[in-house]
Amino acid sequence: MRVMVVWCPDWSVVAGLAETGQPPRTPAAVLSANIVEVCNAPARAEGVRRGHRRRDAQSRCPELALLPANPDLDARAFEPVLAAVEELRPGVAALRPGLLAVRAPGSWFGSEANAAATVCQVLVESGVWDVRLGIADDLFTAEQAARSAEAQGWRVVPPGGSGAFLRGLPVHVLEGDGPQGREAVSLFHRLGLRTLGELAALPGEAVEHRLGAYGASVWRRARGADPALFAARTPPPELDAEVVFEPPLDSVEAVTFSVRTTAERFLAQLARHQLVATGVRVEAEADGEVCSARTWLHPRHFSARDLVDRVHWQLQSGVPGAGVRSRREAGVVRAPIERVRFLPEVCEPAAAHGEALWGSASDDLVERGVARVQGMVGFEAVRRPVLQGGRGPAARQALVPWGERAVGLRPVDRPWPGRVPGPAPVRVFAQQPVAEVVDDAGRPVVVSDRGAVTGEPRRFRFGGDAVEPSLPWHPVTAWAGPWPVDEAWWTDGATGPTSRFQVVGADGRAWLLVCAPGGWSVEAGYD
């Protein structure tokens, strides 16, 4: 099997410039943690290199356009390239954004060079100006052939010629393997190995003994005998569903009533592929343009009734671009709706959402009751609590609209140094009552800059509307802490170093107290 590799250099920069609307020849670099990950040819001409810090890159090229790393954008922008090649030769494998592999379609186009020219022409006509192709017996050699080709060009390694082609390449081509590859290249340089040919001349057992399984793989690739295969993707089925209104409808209620059959058909064709939708994009068109579009997420999966409700909320909401002139004109869209389209954004196997032995789905009556309340008070007004990562009990809470999937939450499985251990408190105060804590001599207890407590807490009191006004002093029968934290100290709204204490009063009730630069307060209670 011969392999064709299509390489689009500096793809992250290409996708970022296209997303921001800047000219493709603008010197640009993609940064991650203020380190240059990718830079394009105009930036390299000014001396910018991968691994440079932000200041170093800007000092070499003051007009450098800085782009944030966005792997999702890179993958989305590369999808049209995959689709274009897939039209010519099914079985495309996306190795990473900017790099794909496919079986070389030589016989269909007369020769491998003609096939490469055809693929190159199709991609250039679709707007991908810098594209390079390589064809060889194995994946690694084909990739190196593509990297050695010129822009809008190709290089064909003859059958059986992989070893001769790779022999003169420098070992730094292995840096594309990531940290492991860069470490191996550094070792090869220290050993005096400069080319892949010198590496291939070494005994394979010695390389494997020194670098393990990765060393054996590198040695085989250097000899042009890499058996690595690629998994070709299967073109995804067309799962979109839409309904066209003739004549267009100018009433939200009419549109909502008319999309029910389409919603059922949309879910039925997902079911035929044993899929359910947990994320659906709803688009409405008016005057030939999309006038309303939103992606909806579901904590379980969508039913036809859920989709109809989302269409109703989307068209009737008063947010900009949702198609409603004002709250007082709810039910009348800005322009007659010509088309409503359902697009599956997130699909999951239906087996993963099947009910367990004793049932796992929520009560339908509760779901419908909450949906009616949302229809009366608004979608965002009905929320449910969700656990997220954080150090304090208030930071670990998040409120998500009912029926919406929780996104953008802080991960729970992180260490979160300074987090108060369990059990979790019963009450968390939105307005924290002011408290006082003193030692045996009646002196206020504070925490020093080094995290040391100036005295042992013996009495405390607090008051406020959240608990009871003017509570008396309580003896401390037990206490634990402190748990010091200094969160977001680099922001203007930072409160400074704070420490949390757990204290138990003589009445048996436990409290979570916070000692901040401004004094003590009660954050939560363990009633």
For residue 353, what are its two tokens? 């959402």
**438 located within any domain:** yes
Work out the end-to-end distance of the chain between its first and last CA atoms, rounded to an integer number of angstroms: 70
With CA atoms as reference, report the closest residue to 200 among 173, 164, 252, 233: 164
Whether 204 and 281 map to the same domain: the answer is: no
Which residue shows structure tokens 């859920």?
306
**233 located within any domain:** no
Average pLDDT over residues 446-467: 77
pLDDT at 356 over 70: no
Average pLDDT over residues 197-204: 90
Q: How confident is the model at residue 106 (pLDDT cuts 50, 70, 90)?
A: low
Average pLDDT over residues 230-241: 74
- What is the number of domains present in the chain? 4
Which residues partner with 29 through β-bridges? 39, 66
**391 located within any domain:** no
DSSP states of 87-136: HHSS--EEEETTEEEEE--TGGGSSHHHHHHHHHHHHHHTT--S-EEEEE
**Who's near 105: CB < 8 A, 6+ residues apart?**
4, 88, 89, 115
Residue ending a domain, choose from 156, 180, 212: 156
Residue ending a domain, choose from 103, 134, 156: 156
Residue 461 has what pLDDT?
Answer: 85
Which residues partner with 428 through β-bridges? 524
Alpha-carbon distance 120 to 130, whole Å?
Answer: 9
CATH number at residue 323: 3.30.1490.100
DSSP states of 31-91: EETTEEEEE-HHHHHTT--TT-BHHHHHHH-TTPEEEE--HHHHHHHHHHHHHHHHHHSS-
Burial of 81 (0-12, 13-18, 19+ CB in 10 A): buried
The DSSP call for residue 175 is G
Residue 357 has what pLDDT?
Answer: 42
Which residues partner with 500 through β-bridges? 483, 514
Instruction: Pick left, alpha or beta for residue 96 (phi over 0 → left; psi -120 to 50 → alpha; otherwise beta).
Output: beta
**142 located within any domain:** yes
Question: Could you tell me the CA-to-CA distances from 405 to 278, 296, 400 in Å, in that order?
Answer: 8, 8, 7
Whether 188 and 144 map to the same domain: the answer is: no
Average pLDDT over residues 91-102: 88
pLDDT at 505 over 90: no
CATH number at residue 207: 1.10.150.20
**272 located within any domain:** yes
The pairing of strands 99-103 and 519-525 is: unpaired
Residue 281 has what pLDDT?
Answer: 92
Question: Would you say 468 and 513 are in contact if contact means Cβ atoms under 8 Å apart?
Answer: no
Whether 482 and 467 map to the same domain: the answer is: yes
DSSP states of 350-397: GGGG---TT--SPPHHHHHHHHHHHHHH-GGGSEEEEE---SSTTTTE
Average pLDDT over residues 379-407: 81
Backbone torsions φ then ψ of 360, nearest 5 degrees: -135, -10
Each residue's pLDDT tens digit, 5-63: 999 999 999 999 999 889 988 999 999 888 998 999 999 999 999 889 999 999 999 99
The residue with greater pLDDT, 381 or 54, is 54
Cis peptide before 423 (omega within 30 of 0): yes
Residue 482 has what pLDDT?
Answer: 85
For residue 385, what are its two tokens? 């609590």
**455 located within any domain:** yes
For residue 491, what are its two tokens? 């922001």
pLDDT at 444 over 60: yes
Question: Would you say 359 and 289 are in contact if contact means Cβ atoms under 8 Å apart?
Answer: no
Each residue's pLDDT tens digit, 70-81: 988 999 899 899
With CA atoms as reference, report the closest residue to 3 among 146, 164, 175: 146
Task: List, edge to edge, every strand of the sheet that includes 35-39.
Answer: 35-39, 28-32, 65-68
Residue 210 has what pLDDT?
Answer: 84
pLDDT at 324 over 50: no
Whether 152 and 7 map to the same domain: the answer is: yes
Whether 338 and 211 map to the same domain: the answer is: no
Question: Would you say 137 and 117 are in contact if contact means Cβ atoms under 8 Å apart?
Answer: no
Range of the domain at 289: 241-361
Whether 21 and 75 map to the same domain: the answer is: yes
Q: How confident is the model at residue 329 (pLDDT cuts 50, 70, 90)?
A: very low
What is the number of alpha carbons within 13 Å of residue 250 lying toward its C-beta? 7
3-state helix, strand, coil in the chain (%, to 5): 35, 30, 40
**409 located within any domain:** no
Whether 189 and 150 map to the same domain: the answer is: no
Whether 151 and 205 map to the same domain: the answer is: no
Q: How confident is the model at residue 234 (pLDDT cuts 50, 70, 90)?
A: low
Which residue shows structure tokens 């909502």?
256
Average pLDDT over residues 484-492: 74
Which residue shows structure tokens 């550094």?
186
Residue 48 has what pLDDT?
Answer: 92
Residue 6 has what pLDDT?
Answer: 93
Question: Could you tell me the CA-to-CA distances from 210 to 173, 186, 197, 216 in Å, in that order?
Answer: 20, 14, 18, 9
Burial of 251 (0-12, 13-18, 19+ CB in 10 A): middle
Each residue's pLDDT tens digit, 410-434: 887 777 777 777 778 888 887 888 8
Each residue's pLDDT tens digit, 137-194: 888 999 999 999 998 899 999 988 888 899 889 998 888 777 888 888 898 989 899 9
Alpha-carbon distance 447 to 250, whole Å?
Answer: 65
Whether 167 and 137 map to the same domain: the answer is: no
Q: How confident is the model at residue 465 (pLDDT cuts 50, 70, 90)?
A: very low
Task: List, edge to edge, every strand of the sheet that includes 332-349.
Answer: 241-251, 332-349, 275-286, 289-297
Q: How confident is the model at residue 470 (pLDDT cuts 50, 70, 90)?
A: low
Whether 128 and 170 map to the same domain: the answer is: no
Whether 206 and 105 map to the same domain: the answer is: no
Residue ending a domain, choose from 134, 156, 178: 156
Average pLDDT over residues 220-242: 77
CA 21-340-285 angle, to 5 degrees, is: 45
pLDDT at 370 over 70: yes
Alpha-carbon distance 340 to 317, whole Å?
Answer: 16
Residue 376 has what pLDDT?
Answer: 83
- Residue 348's identity, in one-letter code, is E
Mean pLDDT estimate for the chain: 83
Which residue shows structure tokens 């993707």?
233
Whether 345 and 443 map to the same domain: the answer is: no
CATH number at residue 33: 3.40.1170.60
**181 located within any domain:** yes
